[in-house]
A and B are shown apart, each in its own frame.
Chain A
């Protein structure tokens, strides 16, 4: 923004503080730009610290670190495969539950609800998103785990236990903790944020399109299915990927209910670990400079790579969706 108006006011030029003003602007510009660049420095430093901190593990175990499922502090042998497996599976299962829930809620909020009810329920959804993750962990451990142990897993075993090929999915003792429970908690945690994104992209569609759908005699579901969804596809996928990124990095809620076992198996109900939960659980027994700490840092670097790529992808999708909306 230049200042042509000043030229028409020659008296202004004689103002005594003029000199100071001209110095103030570049200084302020430099200050805010430096802060902005500081954000990049922080990200760069995070990446550098993770990679250098984990370097000892990568150097000791080589590429085998990525595929080894061993996590044995006694023999000083560490591998990333089990926690990576747990992270990916628990997030994927969480999405299976969360996406239908979020879509249903967003559909309800944007097309079915009376405006006053939509405001209240929309608020409730946002409050659910604001609940600290440790609370989800406690709630999961004391409320969801017993339900899974006493009802869900026995029922699943009864139905699927004798089906060849599927019985492995429900094997194991009914502890209640494990991948399935972690996925449920994660689903509850990420549903609000996916819902919020979906609602926003649904609402950003010009009302005219929605109305012309209704004008042609389409039902509300048909407008959603054939008008709103195709229009907002990128934003919806972006929101889902964003939710997945959140789920993969979640720590406290998962730590309570995952069961802490570095084991890769077919059973959905078996105790497992995610990268984040393993770091949180093992860190207290990892002195600075030890190979174990380096392995945890290396796991952190892997988590960082996974979640940053995921977040980058979701932001890219959301930005493209916004661009399409602005067109």
Chain B
């Protein structure tokens, strides 16, 4: 009943082991496994619908509604709470944990091995690190101790937020961003329908920073969850770095 645990479970679970995933797992914007999710019944994280399914086990994220989790426990349904991943190391740990929870240790170990192998390929051959800024709606950014920050670091980009003393996520004032002069600004893709929160991404300062520089936007489904799909995000960022290095030569 959590977008990220849903995806981990779909990867690790054996045939017939998984019964229902949250409706978010079928939302193309946030989920990287929409096709797979269509095979399962969708739930909305509400205690009564989940109770009526009478599952043997519920896997929830630690950010899932507390009230729902507590009620399910009171009703006698075992609930495993999985913490979100804040680093690439966490991704491996969550895969292993999911394997243990579902009794699929071998599949999980295989996924971890594949993940490590691909990760190692990215870690080599980085000479210069262009400076990048992550900039989301409302002026949020992510520091080094976040999954997004680690994606950047692995792809060989230096994070502006870390230079400015952000380790977790926070609001980076527009003027601080402008003074930092990043080599590229990476923004989240806009959602349908307008909002003031996203308007800031069109501010003249951001446009000036983007002018004559390569830019990129992130595909939320690859960035938000600590699953092996972060490799795709890293891949996008490596492509961006190459483009910037080529442009400079």
Q: A and B bound?
A: no
B residues sitting closer than 8 Å to A (CB atoms) are none
A residues sitting closer than 8 Å to B (CB atoms) are none
